[in-house]
């Protein structure tokens, strides 16, 4: 990236970040939470972008990673008192990683549509398990728990309110974005993109494509799980609905609406979709998803590169 | 010998019948899906919703006309037309593009259709009355006639369609376009319209299953979701694009699930289909009922 | 030999056509014409765009620039299936017969058209089976079970079912034994005698020179040389220049 581009990019970045930091101070409670949720879903969509946008693998399995992150956090928050933030994150990531490993194993064997369908079915497998294993997961009703405090044991403990939680989530999402961006610009990321462009060629050059794909799935799963943890902390409950494949579908929708292969695009896409849904739900109280769905379909046909798609090359330099 | 007595033979018999019945309906749904995928590489996420809309159309026509069979025919036709309209407006423009876009488009369609049904018909489940009641006696058990009739009807529809594919002029067009879309065009076959027709046929088949299956379960806006998932599993296990494979897989998986339901709850019995899928992917990824390519 | 084309509108005219595959600029302004009933050869090394030219005429790819005319009528963006019905037959490289359809079903894809009586259909079938008795023998066999030469015959027979005014032949003799090659040569003559025009893309230079009335030579996506076939011999310097190894 040229010096000038770099300045523009980082200036834009800082401006957006500043706006997001200031937002909870000026927004009413409802919108504060709304914004935080956009960030959390945005993180989920961003994790999915690793696979869709950079490696060229369409996955409908992200609801499984998200769900396991959520339930993992729930487990930590229920098993240990006082509820510990870092354990919640740890458990959630481990849970998500486990699922990711499972999915990753199969990802190496399948391409394209088969992979997409299979990941969808896998997320449903986890849904059924969570839904029916009532003793452990609370079944249909899910689990409720208390929100942990931002604490370093022995040093300090600040309970979260909606403002500080927002900043915490913002910090996590921003850090995730920067990390992922760094990774996608590294040689590893370059190989992933080359797999997306031309898999047989990449394989012919000598790269162990399967292994790269597995790592991509693991990476994607980890960050998706992280978003699940954040969701659990924010909402203080875990429910099987979030493991249903529709959630994966929404993540993919955010990706496409925002622009795949851009990392920030999915976050913008999440915001756009959620705002649309909110707006329409006020006008068309019952069937607001119909116009949203139609807009989505129209975007797929007429604007497949998404809202930020035009910036894709620029954002990746 | 005692072990043989503990096996619940009567339950197994009933579940065999149930499995076949469910299997035939699933086969009807999955055939449409396989057909659509085979000819245009489209994974039709909205297929479950077409099934659902078929059931609702059945409810409506039944309420106004009182005839189940009329409902079956009209629902099939209306949804087939709807399918054609959807294909022309949203899928045709996407021909030739990345397959992801069609998955997304059909996903969007399924969202719209589901919410449309919710809006129009509300969240409470409806019921379709069976066209006739009455059971027959198999050994010492009672089994409803209607269920057998559904299975037979589904088999007839699939069989009739298979004959059409094999011998009809348009059947040859469909098969040619499935194998090689480009050369089919070069032979004067109006491929864009063949694709629309196939989507319409697939939609109609899904709708027919919806009406036939209606009396067995409640008709509600979310009924499509579970079926589309099962249909996808069947299509993958049967070998994508293989009509015979999907039918065989439908019956196979439905039987296994029916047997499993003897011992576990139905919600858990679905795990059977998942397990079959995983095993298929591990050992015979091209499909259980398709000869492995050399 | 047919009389030289003068004022009559050629059957196929390709005018300054530029065709792309994605971003690759394959045809850089190709211009050629084929008169009614003429056999025209199109020569050139691999990759110069000969097949793409045929596909453009057939409407399987549409050019970004330039025109394709059928008997003077612009058909540049007409879809392939309509052009097939208007009388353009296409026999691609690799034959591309429908492998899972029987020989008979393959023929039916072209035979089952509107406006053709059953009697005429039978006539066409009889004719084709007379030219290709092996196809008659194997009529209920799946296309994929035929040998390479038989598939080539099926590909040509199938195109003939459309009763075309012109057949685009893309490397019909590739990979065939000499006996089959001469059979193809004979078929070209038969078609020519029936008044069917042929645009023949080939790597087999002697056969092309023998069968054609005029020759186009392409290089790097454009026509570089055009003359009567009689003016060229196999060892002509132009041949060496554009086709030499």
Contact A121 B116 (CB under 8 A): no
Task: Please give, rounded to a whole number of angstroms, the shortest distance from the CA of A117 to a CA of chain B.
Answer: 7
pLDDT at B139 over 80: no
Assign residue A279 a region: left if phi > 0, alpha if psi is -120 to 50, beta otherwise?
alpha
Residues B108, A59, A115, A69, CA torsion sign? negative
Chain B contact for A131, CB < 8 A? yes
A/C Cβ contact: 3+ pairs below 8 Å: no
| For range B233-260, the mean pLDDT | 88
Tokens of A195: 């797999």
Give the neighbours of chain B: at least 3 Cβ pairs within 8 Å: A, C
CB A254 within 8 A of CB A273: yes
pLDDT in tens, B222-238: 888 888 888 888 988 88
Give the neighbours of chain A: at least 3 Cβ pairs within 8 Å: B
| For range B6-23, the mean pLDDT | 84
Residues C23, C26, C32, C33, CA torsion sign? negative
Tokens of C36: 């009614």
**DSSP of B59-83, one letter per residue?**
HHHHHHH--HHHHHHHHHHHHHHHH
Contact B185 C60 (CB under 8 A): yes
Write the residue in B172, B179, B190 that is nearest to C108 by C-beta: B172
CB C196 within 8 A of CB C165: yes
Residues in chain A, total: 317
Task: Please give, rounded to a whole number of angstroms, the shortest distance from the CA of B86 to a CA of chain A.
Answer: 11
CATH H-level superfamily of C12-96+165-243 = P-loop containing nucleotide triphosphate hydrolases (3.40.50.300)
* Strand residues in B115-238 grouped as ranges (E): 135-138, 141-144
- pLDDT, greater one: C169 or B289: C169
- pLDDT, greater one: A214 or A107: A214
pLDDT-derived band at B3 (thresholds 50, 70, 90) equals low
- pLDDT, greater one: C39 or C47: C39
For chain A, which domains are there? 3-315 (1.10.3470)
Contact B105 A293 (CB under 8 A): no
**What is the pLDDT, as a whole number, of residue B294?**
41
| For range A130-142, the mean pLDDT | 79
The mean pLDDT value of chain C amounts to 89
Write the residue in B119, B236, B285 that is nearest to A286 by C-beta: B119
Chain A contact for B93, CB < 8 A? yes
Task: Please give, rounded to a whole number of angstroms, the shortest distance from the CA of C43 to a CA of chain B.
Answer: 23
CB B123 within 8 A of CB B110: no
pLDDT-derived band at C5 (thresholds 50, 70, 90) equals very low
Contact B90 A114 (CB under 8 A): no
- Burial, C223: exposed, middle or buried (Cβ in 10 Å; 0-12, 13-18, 19+)? buried
The residue of chain C with its CA nearest to that of B191 is: C81
| For range B46-61, the mean pLDDT | 92
Interface test with C, best of B95, B167, B188, B244 (most C CBs within 10 A): B188
- Chain B positions with Cβ closer than 8 Å to C: 169, 172-173, 175-176, 179-180, 182-192
CA distance A190 to A187: 5
Task: Please give, rounded to a whole number of angstroms, the shortest distance from the CA of C81 to a CA of chain B.
Answer: 4
pLDDT-derived band at C3 (thresholds 50, 70, 90) equals very low
CA distance B249 to B148: 19
Chain C CB contacts of B183 below 8 Å: 92, 96-98
The SS3 assignment for A54 reads: helix
pLDDT-derived band at A93 (thresholds 50, 70, 90) equals very high
- pLDDT, greater one: A283 or B166: B166
pLDDT in tens, C95-117: 899 999 999 999 999 888 877 88
Closest by Cα among A238, A240, A220, A217 to A229 = A238
pLDDT in tens, C63-87: 999 999 998 899 999 999 999 999 9
Write the residue in B103, B225, B281 that is nearest to A58 by C-beta: B103
Stretch (H or E) spanning C20: strand C12-21
pLDDT in tens, A7-42: 888 888 888 888 888 888 888 888 888 999 999 999
C-alpha to C-alpha distances, A313 to A244, A308, B224, nearest whole angstrom: 33, 10, 40
**What is the pLDDT, as a whole number, of residue B184?**
93
Write the residue in A121, A132, A245 that is nearest to B267 by C-beta: A132
CA distance C172 to B9: 65
CA distance B103 to B80: 20
The SS3 assignment for C225 reads: strand
Task: Please give, rounded to a whole number of angstroms, the shortest distance from the CA of B59 to a CA of chain A.
Answer: 21
Q: Would you kindly state where each structural domain of chain C is located, as residue ranges?
A: 12-96+165-243
**What is the pLDDT, as a whole number, of residue B78?**
95
pLDDT in tens, B67-98: 888 999 999 999 999 999 999 999 998 887 87
ipTM of the complex: 0.87
| For range C176-182, the mean pLDDT | 88
Mean pLDDT is lowest, of A64-78, A148-162, B84-98, for A148-162
Task: Please give, rounded to a whole number of angstroms, the shortest distance from the CA of B101 to a CA of chain A.
Answer: 6
CA distance A194 to C76: 36
Chain A contact for B265, CB < 8 A? yes
The mean pLDDT value of chain A amounts to 85
Contact B94 A112 (CB under 8 A): no
The SS3 assignment for C100 reads: coil
**What is the pLDDT, as a whole number, of residue C62?**
92
Instruction: Catalogue the long-range contacts made by A82-85 (C-beta closer than 8 Å, 24 or more residues apart).
Output: A82/A148, A82/A149, A83/A145, A83/A146, A83/A147, A83/A148, A83/A149, A84/A148, A84/A151, A84/A153, A85/A148, A85/A149, A85/A150, A85/A151, A85/A233
For chain B, which domains are there? 2-283 (1.10.3470)
The SS3 assignment for C30 reads: strand
CB C107 within 8 A of CB C113: no
- Sheet of C214-219: strand order equals C88-91, C166-170, C197-201, C39-43, C214-219, C222-228
pLDDT at A50 over 70: yes
């Amino acid at each position: 990236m040229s010096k000038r581009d770099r300045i523009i990019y980082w200036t834009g970045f800082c401006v957006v970040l500043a706006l997001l930091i200031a937002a909870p101070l000026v927004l009413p409670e409802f919108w504060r939470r709304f914004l935080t949720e956009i960030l959390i879903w945005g993180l989920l969509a961003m994790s999915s972008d690793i696979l869709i946008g950079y490696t060229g693998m369409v996955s409908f399995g992200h609801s499984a990673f998200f769900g396991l992150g959520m339930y993992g956090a729930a487990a930590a928050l229920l098993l240990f008192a006082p509820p510990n933030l870092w354990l919640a994150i740890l458990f959630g990531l481990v849970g998500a990683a486990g699922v990711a490993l499972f999915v990753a194993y199969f990802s190496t064997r399948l391409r394209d549509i088969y992979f997409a369908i299979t990941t969808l079915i896998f997320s449903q497998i986890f849904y059924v398990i969570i839904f029916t294993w009532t003793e452990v997961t609370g079944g249909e009703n899910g689990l409720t728990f208390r929100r942990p405090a931002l604490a370093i044991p022995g040093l300090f403990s600040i309970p979260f309110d909606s403002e500080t939680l927002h900043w915490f989530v913002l910090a996590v999402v921003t850090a995730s974005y920067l990390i992922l961006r760094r990774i996608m610009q590294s040689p590893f990321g370059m190989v992933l993109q080359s797999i997306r462009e031309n898999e047989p060629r990449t394989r012919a050059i000598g790269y162990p494509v399967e292994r790269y794909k597995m790592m991509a799935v693991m990476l994607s799963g980890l960050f998706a799980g992280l978003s699940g943890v954040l969701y659990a902390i924010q909402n203080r409950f875990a429910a099987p609905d979030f493991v249903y494949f529709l959630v994966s579908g929404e993540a993919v929708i955010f990706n496409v609406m925002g622009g795949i292969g851009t990392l920030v695009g999915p976050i913008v896409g999440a915001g756009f979709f959620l705002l649309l849904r909110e707006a329409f739900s006020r006008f068309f109280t019952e069937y607001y998803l119909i116009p949203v769905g139609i807009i989505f379909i129209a975007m797929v046909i007429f604007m497949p590169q998404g809202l930020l798609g035009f910036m894709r090359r620029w954002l990746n330099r | 010998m005692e072990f043989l007595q503990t096996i619940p033979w009567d339950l197994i018999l009933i579940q065999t019948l149930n499995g076949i019945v469910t299997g035939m309906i699933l086969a009807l749904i999955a055939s449409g899906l396989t057909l659509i995928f085979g000819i245009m590489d489209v994974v039709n996420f909205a297929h479950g919703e077409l099934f659902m809309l078929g059931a609702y159309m059945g409810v409506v026509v039944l309420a106004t006309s009182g005839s189940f069979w009329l409902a079956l025919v009209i629902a099939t036709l209306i949804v087939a037309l709807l399918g054609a309209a959807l294909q022309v407006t949203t899928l045709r423009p996407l021909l030739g593009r990345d397959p992801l876009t069609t998955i997304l488009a059909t996903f969007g369609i399924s969202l719209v259709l589901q919410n449309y049904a919710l809006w129009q018909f509300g969240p409470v489940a409806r019921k379709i009355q069976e066209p006739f009641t009455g059971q027959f006696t198999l050994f010492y058990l009672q089994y409803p006639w209607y269920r057998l009739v559904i299975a037979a009807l589904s088999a007839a529809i699939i069989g009739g369609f298979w004959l059409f594919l094999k011998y009809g002029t348009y059947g040859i067009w469909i098969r040619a376009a499935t194998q090689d879309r480009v050369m089919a065009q070069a032979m004067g076959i109006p491929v864009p319209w063949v694709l629309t027709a196939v989507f319409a046929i697939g939609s109609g088949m899904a709708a027919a299953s919806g009406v036939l299956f209606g009396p067995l379960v409640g008709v509600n806006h979310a009924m499509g979701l579970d079926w589309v998932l099962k249909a996808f599993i069947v299509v993958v296990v049967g070998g994508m694009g293989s009509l015979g494979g999907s039918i065989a897989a439908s019956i196979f998986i439905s039987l296994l699930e029916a047997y499993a339901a003897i011992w576990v709850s139905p919600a858990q019995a679905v795990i059977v289909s998942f397990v079959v899928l995983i095993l298929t992917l591990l050992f015979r990824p091209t499909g259980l009922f398709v000869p492995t390519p050399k | 030999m047919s009389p030289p084309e003068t004022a009559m509108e050629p059957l196929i005219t390709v005018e300054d056509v530029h065709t792309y595959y994605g971003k690759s600029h394959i045809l850089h302004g190709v211009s050629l014409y084929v008169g009614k009933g003429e056999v025209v050869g199109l020569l050139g090394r691999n990759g110069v765009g000969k097949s793409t030219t045929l596909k453009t005429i057939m409407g399987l790819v549409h050019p970004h620039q330039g025109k394709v005319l059928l008997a003077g009528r612009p058909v540049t963006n007409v879809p392939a299936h309509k052009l097939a019905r208007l009388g353009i037959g296409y026999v691609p490289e690799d034959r591309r017969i429908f492998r899972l359809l029987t020989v008979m079903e393959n023929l039916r894809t072209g035979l089952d058209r509107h406006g053709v009586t059953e009697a005429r259909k039978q006539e066409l079938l009889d004719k084709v089976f007379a030219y290709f008795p092996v196809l008659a023998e194997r009529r209920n066999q799946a296309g994929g079970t035929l040998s390479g030469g038989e598939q080539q015959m099926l590909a040509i027979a199938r195109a003939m079912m459309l009763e075309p005014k012109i057949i685009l032949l893309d490397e019909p003799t590739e990979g065939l034994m000499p006996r089959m090659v001469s059979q193809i040569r004979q078929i070209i003559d038969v078609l020519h005698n029936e008044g069917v025009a042929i645009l023949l893309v080939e790597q087999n230079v002697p056969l092309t020179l023998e069968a054609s009335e005029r020759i186009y030579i392409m290089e790097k996506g454009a026509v570089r040389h055009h003359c009567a076939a009689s003016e060229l011999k196999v060892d002509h310097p132009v041949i060496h220049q554009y086709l030499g190894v």
